[in-house]
Every structure is written in structure tokens, then in C-alpha cells.
Structure 1
Amino acid sequence: MSTPAAAKSSRATKGRLLPLLGPAFVAAIAYVDPGNVAANVTAGARYGYLLVWVLVASNAAAMLVQYLSAKLGLVTGRSLPQLLGEHLPRIPRLLFWAQAELVAAATDLAEVIGGALALNLLFGIPLLWGGAIIGSVSMLLLALQGRGRQRVFEWAIIALLLVITVGFLTGLVVAPPQWGEVAAGMIPRFAGTDSVLVAASMLGATVMPHAVYLHSSLVNDRHGRDDEAAGPGHIRRLLRATRIDVTWALSLAGMVNIGLLLLAASALQGVEGTDTIEGAHAAITAALGGGVGAVFAVGLLASGLASTSVGAYAGSEIMKGLLHVKVPLLVRRLVTLAPALAILAMGAEPTWALVLSQVLLSFGIPMAVIPLVRLTEDRALMGEYVNATVTRVAGWAVTALIVALNLLLVWLTLTGGA
């Protein structure tokens, strides 16, 4: 039984920790971007509840990876791209930057296309013009991420995250899933080559490479590095707050992702044309009503706006750390918007372009996770905060599973295996 003094101490601790929360919610936006919508709706519409286990495992892995990224930043005062830029020779550093930029481009493609789709569904705006509007509005959000305005940016992103959650989970109230089948979907298995491709896209959409690079920057942008002024135990207090931050943020993102798959499995499975976002929206509207369909589209719009802003922020940090070149966020936003608009102008099928972008992201995950685990287990770098044995084993296990899934995808694709 807790005493009044203990309760007061608990409230005081929470009061000290709550103002420290926020960076993980910004990183979590990467986990509920339009690529997630495409991958998870496709998975549910095609395979029902079969791939629920992929999302559960991916989200658990994401929590570990994002915490390690934040921990690296807090302990060293530098981001993952900065540390890699310091440790890698020139040629490997440039090659590493090239693949990181390719991953960032795939991310931006998914986010802009998703937002353009939302505007098309809501207002009938052509995809190309919708992409331009999403890019323009994202610049306004990025303008909040200036000196002294980090907290404002975080609150704007958190507000959009709440809109995303409501938008994507409302349909489950009208079309609840079959919980017995959900439980069966926790058993790891596939159903042919295409299901592996979809699972890889789900993994790429859930454990996002650019979020891994970014989180180590976010915590330092937010908390700074004046440890002496903060007093003893400052880093431990920040790490404790970060564990809470990551748990809350990624639990919410995981709930949204699983909810998307369950909605598609319960309301869209077997319905013709529901493996695209447009088809899914039409089927949701037909089956659950125009109100639910509109709320879904609003969630997609919020997802595109928030995630493209965070993606541009991540790309800027990657370039600054690996190339030692700082490009203004708004300038970078203009440059990275071009490929996505070009894809829209060519008339590529939007949902399949989103799914393939997530597959590309899944191949970029090991490039971010392997050096992250290696650096956080380096005692010379991390000191007393070096990874414990359990964390080290879990980190390498997650990395091995990611690499194994990617190798399986390549093998099945080349051999046509089932």
C-alpha cells in the first residue's frame, strides 16, 4: 500500500519527466506514414490476418532500435550520422551517404504520394497538384523547427499523430475484427513469394531507417548537452524519460499499424480492388459509410503532411553528419520534392509505388541498425552507459532477423519459390 509521501514522490517524478517527453513522438511519425497505410492495407486485403505477427515483431524491434538511437545521442552528444562521419574514411563515408540518401528519397516518395492521394480522395485534386500542395504545407511545418521552436514543432507533430490515430482506427468501431483469427495471425508464417514481398514492405514501413538516424539528433536538439549545469544524474534521468517516451510513442504507432491491417482484413478481404489505397477508401466508404471514409482520408492527409516534414528533417541531419554540409531545411525540401512529383507526373500506380518504396526501405534498415548496435556496445564511446548483455543480444538478434527476411525475399523472388 503506497503512503502519501510515496504518492507525492511519484507525482513529482512524473512532473519532472513529462516535460522531457516528445522526441520519440516526432520519430514515431515515420512509423505511421502513407507507406505504412499502403503496406498494411495491402497485407490485410490480400492475406487477412496472416501477417499480424510481422507488425507485432516489427514494432517490438522498432522500440529497441529507437531507444538505442536516442541513447547514443544523449550519451555522446552527437547523432548517428555524425559519429559515422567521424569514423568512416572518405570513400566509404560517401558510399554510406549515397545509400542513406536513396533511403531518404524512397521515404519522401511514399509521404508525398500518400498526401497527394488523400487530397485527391477528399477534394478531387489531381495527384501532381496534390503532391505540390503537400510539399508546400510541409515547408510551413518545417519552419516551426527553428531555433527555440523545437517544442512547438513537437506539439504540431503530436497533434497530427492524434489525427492519424483517429482517422485510421475509427473504422474498427464499425467493423471490429475476428479476434480468434487475429490470435492465429500471431503465428509466424507466409503464403508464397508475394506475401514475403508484402511482409518486407511492412518491415520497411515499420522500422524506418531515417527515423533511426534522426532520433539521435532529436534528443540533442531538444535537451542540449549542458550536463554540468544540469547536475549529477542528468543523463540517467534523460534515459529514463526516453524509455517512457519511446514506449508511449511506438505503442501508439504500433496500434495504428495493426489497426490498419485489422480494418483491411475485417472489411476489405476478398473485395475486388482493395489492395490499393483508392480502392480501400472506396470499399470502406461503401461498406462503412461516407463518414468513416472521410475520416480515413483525413488520417491519410495528416500522415502525409507530418511524415514528409519529419523526413526532410532526417535527410538534412544525414547530410550534415556524413558530408559535413548543412543545407537549410526548406532548400532540401524543394530538392527532394522533385522525384516524388516526377513519379506522380509519369502516372505510376500510387499504391504499388508506395509498397515498393517500403521494400527499398527494408534493405536500408541493416545499414542503419548494424552501426547503431555496434556503436552503443562500444565501451570507449558509451562509458558506463554501454549496452548491457541482454540489450546487446537483442540488438544483434533484431539485426539478424531483418537481414534474414531480406535475403529470403531475394531468394524467393529469384527462384519463384512458394
Structure 2
Amino acid sequence: MNSPASPRRTRTSAVKAGWRRLGAGLVTGAADDDPSGIATYSQVGTQFGYSMLWTTVATVPLMIGIQTICAHIARVTGMGLAANLTRILPRGVVAGLVGLLVINNVVNLAADIGAMGDALAMLTGGHARYLALLCAAVSLLLEVFIPFRHYAPILKVLTASLLAYVLTACVVGIPWREMVAHWHPERWDHRTLVALTAVFGTTVSPYLFFWQAAEEVEQERGKPGAQALLAAPEDAPEEFRRIRIDTNLGMTYSNVVAFFIMLTAAVVLHGAGLPSIDTSADAARALEPLAGRLASMLFTLGIVGTGMLAVPVLAGSAAYAVSEALGQKGGLENTVAEARTFYVILAIATALGTLLTFLPVSPLRLLFWSAVINGVIAVPLMGAIMVAACSRSLMGPFVLKGTLRLLGWVATVVMGLVALGLLL
């Protein structure tokens, strides 16, 4: 009697089980498409049309490689990135890198919180800065008062907000044949290199390294009986498989969405001859007269949804990095009383980012400095991560080998070339 429904129930159970297994990789990848990233992809699409779409494909293996390595380090050792780096590098060097990370995150927070305020103002007619303050307050309260085991599912659900950009592309209509014919670089000049630097710097971001590692540690601590792989090596095959699937899916999802953001800007804004846009909210405003109210609304809702995902990741990665560098334990699963330093840093980073939105600072300038700092710290951080992953004293029998090791070093070299291009 129940047999016809059994296959459906089995498929539903498999989907639910698969969804439960996704976590750090999916959230980290989705958080990369934050409002400031949306602004960068929109700007590049507006200026270059289809010719820079290839960058959203080229960055996929780089993201997968370095993020998988960060997750491996955390799962093997049971500690976050900063805690591991202090074991192989002088504390002063780690402190300098973490300090630059915090500065970058605060600047990025300002750009994201400001964009969320602008987007909500477009939807509600309210005051953009006060709505930005509201968004920052809600995000901070959720982080402080909801334990990680309950907060993580909220972040996973928020990753669906990125689908707004796929829907936006469907609404505006894509001339696929024209896109395929022109999606390669048409010429290499100074403007092209600047755009290339912007996309790579936005996509491979240092705060993602710290967040994914920290979330792996949080997941391990929240799972009954789970231990670091150095203490439970028999769990390694299954855990590495989970990390690989989670990270591959998360980083691919991130770049597919980036592709559609850039594609929408190329079709509508570049197609209309618009010279440039400064922020993600500017892109949403420009879409309405050119592509209609629905396209603009979907784009705007995506800014708010991705902002609510990215703000806790930016503030949280700063808090994890600083508290680990100071040798203090703490995380979103702990209460304020148990991890005062962690939550103080979390609150200060969010407050400073919010304060910057009230100052007369150009959003484009904020994004520029964020990209500069990313370019400065990404390469030495990736180099340090590779040294840590290849350290037998740190990783024991799980020292990085084979294809993943090669991919990690290739990603580091490529980002080094991008940083050099930024400096030049």
C-alpha cells in the first residue's frame, strides 16, 4: 500500500541528509558574493560586457584549492587558522597579518552594511543610514544570542538569497549566442588588468580562509564524540570526502552566481552604454528603467539577503582570528560570559564598519582600499597556509600531498601575480 510512496520518501530523505552535510563550504562560498563583491562584478560587467566573464570560471579551482586546504588544517588539528599559524610563525608576523585582516574586514563591513541600507531604502522609502544601522544591529544580536548550532542553519538558508541573481538574469533575458562569442578577453590593457585584479581580489578573499577553518572547528565541537583527526585518524576518509563535496559545491555556487551578476550587468547596463556604477545599489537603480521593476527588485532583495549572510562572516572571521592569535578560546557556540574577548572583537568590528557608513567616505573608495589590503595580505597568508598544510609537525600523517598540494601552490602563485599587477 505504501510502496509507491517509498521511492519518493527515500529521495526526500537523501536530499535532507545531503543538506545536513553541507555547512562550512557552502556558507563560505555564498558569503563571498557579498554586496561589495556584487558591486565589483556589476562594475566589471558594465565596463567590459561579456569579455571578463571567463574570470568567474578561472577562479573556481583557485577557491576550491585554498578553501579545502584551510578546512583540512582545521579538521586535522581541531584549531582555527590563526591558532595554527602561531605554531609555525613568529607571533609578530601573525599579529601583523591578523591586524591587516581586521582592517580589511572593517572596510568591507562598511561597504556591505551601507549597501544593505541603500537597498532597503529603495524597497521601503526609509532612511538608508538608519536602515544600515538596523541591519548591523540585527546581525550582531543574532550572532551574540543564538548558539552556533542554531545559527548555522540560518546562514545556510540565507545562501538561497543568491538565487535572486540567477532569476534576475532570467528576467532580463540573455542573448546566449552573443555571450558565447564574446566572453573571452578582447584586448589586454591597463583597464583590463585592473578589472582582473578586482575580480581575483574580490573572489579569493582572506576572510574566507579564517571563516571556513573556524566553522569546521565549531562543527567538530558541536558533534557528539567528534575529535580532531590527529586524535581520530579513522574518521579522516569520510571527513575529507565531506569537506571536498561541501567546498566544491560552495565555491562553484559562489562563482556561478558571480557569473550571472556580471552577465546581467553586461546585458543591461553595458548594453545601454552606461559607463560605470559605483555600488551594488547603483546597479539595482540602473536596472529598473532599463530592465523593469521586477529585475531591479530581485537584484535589490539579493543585496539584502547576501549582506545578512556576509556581515556575520566578516565580523566573525575577524573575531576568530584575533582571539586565536591571542591564544584565547571562543566562538559563536560559546556564551558572552565564556568568550568575552571574542564577542568584544565581534561587536567592535561591526560597530566600526557601521560607523564608517555615517562618514562622508565614497563607497567606491572603500571598495578600492578593501581590494588593496586584500592584495597585500592574501599572498603571504596563502603562503603561510601552504607551509602549515605541508608541515608534518602540525599535520602529522595528514600532511598535504598530491593534486591538492599542487593546486594550493598554483593558487598562491596566481594570486601573487595578481597582487603584483595591483601594485604596478
TM-score tier after normalising by the smaller chain length: 0.7 to 0.9
Matching residue's letter, 1:176 = G
Equivalent residue, structure 1, for 2:132:
131
> Percent of counterpart pairs with the same letter?
20
Q: Taking structure 1 as reference, are residues 282 and 104 closer, same or farther at Cα in structure 2, changes over 3 Å only?
A: closer
Cα displacement (A) at 1:328: 4.9
CA deviations on 1:354-399 (whole Å, 9 max, x unpaired) are: 3542343233211321111121122332233222232222211111
- The residue aligned with 1:213 is 210
1:175: which partner in 2? 172
Is the 2:206–2:374 Cα contact (8 Å) retained in structure 1? Answer: yes
Q: 5+ residue gaps in structure 1?
A: 1-9, 412-418
- State the one-letter code of the partner of 2:161: V
| Residue 111 to residue 15, structure 1, CA distance change in 2 (3 Å) | closer
- Tell me by how many angstroms 1:13 deviates: 9.4
Deviation at 1:22, TM superposition (A): 1.1
Show the 5 A alignment for 1:232-381.
Answer: 233-269=234-270, 270-272=272-274, 274-276=276-278, 277-325=280-328, 327-328=340-341, 330-381=343-394
Q: Deviations over 1:38-59 (max 9, x none)?
A: 1000000011012112221122
Correspondence for 1:383: 396
Q: Which residue of 1 aligns with 2:4?
A: none
Amino acid at match of 1:296: F
Structure 2: gaps of 5 or more residues: 1-10, 331-339
Alignment of 1:222-237 (within 5 A): 222-224=219-221, 225-226=226-227, 233-237=234-238
User: Relative to structure 2, which stretch is displaced further, 135-144 or 331-340?
Assistant: 331-340
Partner Cα distance (1:213, 1:46) in 2 = 32
Counterparts in 2 of 1:12 and 1:281: CA distance versus 1, 3 Å: closer
Q: What residue number does 1:5 align with?
A: none
1:350 and 1:38 mapped to 2: Cα distance? 10
SS of the aligned residue for 2:50 comes to coil
Structure 2 match to 1:397: 410
The answer to whether the 8 A contact 1:38-1:355 is kept is no
TM-score with structure 1 length normalisation? Answer: 0.86
Q: C-alpha separation between the residues in 2 aligned to 1:206 and 1:81?
A: 21
Q: Following superposition, which runs of at least 4 residues in structure 1 exceed 6 angstroms of deviation? A: 10-17
Give the distance between the partners of 2:387 and 2:192, measured in 1 at CA: 31
Distance 1:362 1:186, change over 3 A: farther
2 CA distance for matches of 1:114 and 1:374? 37
1 CA distance for matches of 2:112 and 2:342? 16
Correspondence 1:195 to 2:165? no
**Match of 1:384, as an amino acid?**
P
Deviation, structure 1 residue 330: 4.5
Is the Cα–Cα contact under 8 Å of residues 75 and 228 in structure 2 kept in the other structure? Answer: no
Kindly tell me: are residues 308 and 285 of structure 1, through their superposed partners in 2, closer, same or farther at Cα, counting changes over 3 Å? Answer: same
Deviation at 1:182, TM superposition (A): 3.7
**Which residue in the other structure is 1:408 paired with?**
421
Map 1:147-158 → 2, pairs under 5 A: 149-150=148-149, 152-158=150-156
Output the CA distance in 2 between the equivalents of 1:12 and 1:298: 31
Moved more, 36-45 or 340-349: 340-349
Q: Report the Cα offset of residue 82 of structure 1.
A: 0.4
Give the count of matched residue pairs: 398
Over residues 323-351 of structure 1, what are the superposed CA-to-partner deviations in whole Å (9 max), with x where a residue is unaligned?
Answer: 22454554334312343334322333324
- After superposition, give the CA deviation of every residue in 1:93-136 in whole Å (9 maximum; x if it has no partner): 33222222222223322322221221222223333223211210
Identify if the C-alpha distance between structure 1 residues 287 and 15 changes in structure 2 by more than 3 Å, giving closer, same or farther: closer
- Name the residue aligned to 1:415: none
- The equivalences for 1:79-158 within 5 A come to 79-143=80-144, 146=147, 149-150=148-149, 152-158=150-156
d(CA) in 2 for partners of 1:387 and 1:88?
18
Per the alignment, in what secondary structure is the counterpart of residue 87 of structure 1? coil
Residues 232 and 345 (structure 1), Cα distance of their counterparts in 2 relative to 1, 3 Å cut: closer
Whole-angstrom distance in 1 between the partners of 2:12 and 2:182: 40
The 1:202–1:185 alpha-carbon spacing in structure 2 relative to 1, beyond 3 Å, is farther
Task: Specify whether residues 399 and 333 from structure 1 end up closer, same or farther in structure 2 by C-alpha distance, changes over 3 A only.
Answer: same
Distance 1:48 1:227, change over 3 A: closer
Contact 1:103–1:209 (CA<8 Å) still a contact in 2? no
Which residue of the partner structure matches residue 42 of structure 2? 41
Q: 1:61 to 1:212 in 2, by over 3 A?
A: same
Give me the whole-angstrom Cα distance separating, in 2, the residues matched to 1:46 and 1:247.
30
Deviation at 1:12, TM superposition (A): 10
Native 8 Å contact 2:50 2:184 kept in 1: no
